[in-house]
Amino acid sequence: MSSSGPCVARCAAVSAAILFSLLAGQFVAAQTPLGAGEPAWLAYRPVNAAAVFPGGVPDTIVKLGNDVLEDSAARELALGWRGMLRHEPRFVNNADAGQGRAVVMGTQAEIDAWRPPVTHEKHLTQDAYRLYRVSDVVVVEGGDARGVLYGAFALLRLIAEQHSLRVLDETSAPWALVRWTNEWDNPNGTIERGYAGPSIFFEEGRVRADLSRAAAYARLLSSVGIDGCTINNVNAAIDLLKPENVRDIARIADVFRPYGVRLSLSVDMSSPQVIGGLKTFDPLNAEVAAWWNSKIDAIYAAIPDFGGVVIKADSEGRVGPSQYGRSPADAANVVARALKPHGGVVLYRGFVYNNHLDWHDMKADRARAGYDNFHALDGKFDDNVIVQIKHGPIDFQVREPVSPLFAGLPNTNEAIELQITQEYTGQQRHLVYLVPMWKESLNTDMRASAAATPLPVKEIVSGRAVATQHHTAGGFVGVANVGTDGWLGSPLALSNLYGFGRLAWEPNLGAAAISDEWTRLSFGNDPEVRATINKLELDSWHIYESYTGPLGVGTLTDIIGIHFGPGVESAERNGWGQWIRADHDGVGMDRTVATGTGYIGQYPAPLAAEYESLATCPDNLLLFMHHVPYTYRLHSGLTVMQYIDNTHYWGAQAAAAQVPAWEALQGKVSDSTYAEVLKRLKFQAGHAIVWRDAVTEWFTKMSGIPDALGRVGHYPGRIEAESMHLDGYETVDVTPWETASGGKAVICDLPECAVQTTWEKPDGWYDVTVQYFDLLHGHSRFSLSVAGNEVERWIAGDTLPSDKLNGSTSTRITLDNVAIHRGDILRVTGRPDGAELAPIDYLSIVPSAVHSTVIRNAAR
């Protein structure tokens, strides 16, 4: 650290600056108004100020620099002081005022100039920060202006967690240079695999007029150290590169800039031809290269801090260099060379595969594609190209091994792509905290180091040169797909956005520590709230995995369309290659070198040996790596078939137990958050039963092996709608059969229909469930009556993601403590709406778990 002259002289240099306190008011006035859910973890709830600052809250905030990022840092501290400490700080940028109780913030150079150095040996790197005390002064020092902003957020985090700042000494630097989100937004305002409403960036083919949400999003991203955001779908709309659109997109970059978030774009390789009017988009053609140069120059003229581009090519219908016999390296490099003079990067996606594989070819394997397509190109990419690799070799399944490509490119920059939006993990209607899953990938030791030193994926993507790696950059990309509905729709899903940022900054943080940080920032420091939410979050991945994708099978969801409900066979007999190869004898993909697709051989030898052998392959990846009989015994001692049955029953039970756990927090979290989370957890509990029944029934039928515990196919209290007296309703087959109880449901093609049955069992208190289908479109009306008295009426008004009767639309209502007498008639009436024909699957009537004094049908 260097020092310069005495404070008086240095202060003169800053004295020309305007009194910052005057600006502070303006900053806050200009603060974007935030709607419900939007502040997320930046709500700045009151804390015990005396616990944080035992010697008194600093009343002066000194901002030494004038960078826009330091302005944001100051604005943020003001918000935090007011919200958390109930204190109105005085702002100055006169360094002399940094006496007494104050916070002084500035870059390393500004701090050096402010006062003789406190001995800090280590130079702060790009984006890094250091927080420390000099007697009563709290110093927020950044390696650069962005580091100052990150430091301010870090200080606010400590305050929100109510840590005592009597002693403070924290230095932190980002793990990797690239920490971006990708947003799969389309210009028409829709978002591919987005589950939280429309785009915050686009509407009706244009950039939104009101970008206040985009600004608020940049603030959130910045608070966890994310420094880049790709605003459009990797299935890129080609028109976005037209000059008028680039001008409009620059407005988004303008609102990102104060938070240090660099905007980037997904581009389509055919752009030179389609919008440039060239005869070709061959990346080795000189005119094509010139087109990219001038296009990129034009983008930088509009957006000087443009981050770079993301490219999806030769994948899922996108054109690419293969059309001209060129390689991904040729394609990436032509764009990279245009970006290079400006400091931009290309993130070239490793997600290149053939989705027309031959199911009959036992050697065909989609999992091989990344390595097969890229390994031979190692060392051929320019140094501002980063290959962006999904964490697993398939596609964000609930359990996958880490992609072997991470070890296959020792001379190429690599970034890991993680999916924050829950495409295959319950679409934010199921609670799945993904950080533990991501950490498993990041911590997987590829055993690729010649020196036998561990080489976990997190090291590979750090961009630091290590043993066998020669990387100049690397990073983390999170597919977030936030929308206007509380960013991710589900309040608890925000932990994934938060967690992604924190891991990208420091992957050695623990999943539990990140969950706890997020919980404290979002819900406060109440120990009961923390314990409950942390437990829900930390248990959630295994719960979801247990009823949707056992033993590394990948997923058993409907893979052809929306990836939400069960649809076991949809994986098979098509070109998509998400096969599970289940037949009457066994299940799983044989990916061994000895007899299978050879995929396992793509891993470095020690890891390959572990996966190749049944003796050492972990149970949780068994069906990913091997095809085994249903009678095969796992390391746990259970057979595969019994494990499938047990885990689905356990999972459904665990999902149900989340509901009362959350209910204990009523009154301890805001009413709206309480209600929203409760609604989702209840849905999940019901949907877990749909999953459980579908998967266990399907495998029982396929294997012919009954559940040793007699549960599958035997559902106490269940009455199939089709077996009841039908008043206008007609019976239909449901496809796939396993997604409806008994494979059938009833639908009503009249203005009103009913199903009814007479209760033949003893008088008592019962919990009554009606399992019905709620399609994306239509608001059917239902009512349940017992002995002529209406117990409940409801509308099928959810927006479950399909217009078919299947495992994505099957849902339920449960009414607790209904008094039913022998001989009572139970009747469900349905009134269709449009094409939604008030479909019913079954009723379930079981003795009440809790006898309440509140009698629902007390009117009787």
Q: Which residues are catalytic?
A: 316, 395, 423
Q: Rule CB under 6 A: say whether 192 interacts with ligand GCV.
A: yes
| CB atoms closer than 10 angstroms to residue 709 | 11
Candidate residues 20, 129, 184, 649; the one interacting with ligand GCV per rule CB under 6 A: 184
Q: Which stretch binds ligand GCV (CB under 6 A): 73-81, 113-121, 228-236, 545-553?
A: 228-236
- Residue span 496-515 as binding mask against ligand GCV, x where in contact by CB under 6 A, dash where not: --------------------
CA dist 129 and 134 (Å) reads: 16
CA dist 25 and 125 (Å) reads: 32
Residue placing its CB nearer to ligand GCV in the complex, 351 or 374 = 351
Candidate residues 235, 293, 620, 731; the one interacting with ligand GCV per rule CB under 6 A: 235
Residue placing its CB nearer to ligand GCV in the complex, 473 or 559 = 559
Q: How far is the CB of 182 from ligand GCV (least distance, A)?
A: 9
Q: How far is the CB of 419 from ligand GCV (least distance, A)?
A: 8
Element (H, E) at 794: strand 789-795
Nearest to 442 by CA among 361, 547, 354, 514: 514
CB 215 within 8 A of CB 490: no
Candidate residues 221, 226, 234, 313; the one interacting with ligand GCV per rule CB under 6 A: 234
Q: How far is the CB of 261 from ligand GCV (least distance, A)?
A: 21
Q: Which stretch binds ligand GCV (CB under 6 A): 217-225, 229-237, 303-311, 648-656?
A: 229-237
CA dihedral 522, 523, 524, 525 (to 10 degrees): -110
CA dist 550 and 553 (Å) reads: 6
CB 723 within 8 A of CB 826: no
- Residue span 340-369 as binding mask against ligand GCV, x where in contact by CB under 6 A, dash where not: -----------x------------------
Residue placing its CB nearer to ligand GCV in the complex, 423 or 459 = 423
Residue 736: cis peptide before it, omega within 30 degrees of 0: yes
Distances (CA, A) of 592 to 367, 581, 589, 614, 689: 12, 14, 9, 10, 34
Q: How far is the CB of 362 from ligand GCV (least distance, A)?
A: 24
Residue placing its CB nearer to ligand GCV in the complex, 38 or 423 = 423
Nearest to 268 by CA among 231, 307, 228, 235: 235
- Residue span 368-407 as binding mask against ligand GCV, x where in contact by CB under 6 A, dash where not: ---------------------------x------------
Q: Map residue 176 onto helix, strand or coil.
A: coil
Residue 719: φ, ψ to 5° = -125, 115
Q: How far is the CB of 307 from ligand GCV (least distance, A)?
A: 19
Q: How far is the CB of 356 from ligand GCV (least distance, A)?
A: 14
Residue placing its CB nearer to ligand GCV in the complex, 192 or 372 = 192
Strands 474-479, 586-587: parallel, antiparallel or unpaired by DSSP?
unpaired
Q: How far is the CB of 193 from ligand GCV (least distance, A)?
A: 5
What residues numbered 293-312 form the site for ligand GCV, per CB under 6 A? 312
Half-sphere exposure (Cβ direction) of 426: Cα atoms closer than 13 Å:
33
Residue placing its CB nearer to ligand GCV in the complex, 390 or 856 = 390
Distances (CA, A) of 562 to 427, 799, 802: 10, 13, 8
CA dist 21 and 448 (Å) reads: 56
Q: Which residues pair with 769 in a beta bridge?
A: 814, 844
Residue placing its CB nearer to ligand GCV in the complex, 262 or 312 = 312
Residue placing its CB nearer to ligand GCV in the complex, 184 or 759 = 184
Q: How far is the CB of 349 from ligand GCV (least distance, A)?
A: 7
What residues numbered 411-430 form the site for ligand GCV, per CB under 6 A? 423
CB 61 within 8 A of CB 75: no
Q: How far is the CB of 421 from ligand GCV (least distance, A)?
A: 10
Buried/exposed 824-850: b ≥16 CB within 10 Å, e otherwise? bebbbbbbbbeebbbbbbbbbbeeeee
- Number of shown-chain residues binding ligand GCV (CB under 6 A): 11
CB 181 within 8 A of CB 191: no
Q: Which stretch binds ligand GCV (CB under 6 A): 213-221, 233-241, 339-347, 588-596?
A: 233-241
Residue placing its CB nearer to ligand GCV in the complex, 233 or 811 = 233
Residues that bind ligand GCV (CB under 6 A): 184, 192-193, 233-235, 312, 316, 351, 395, 423
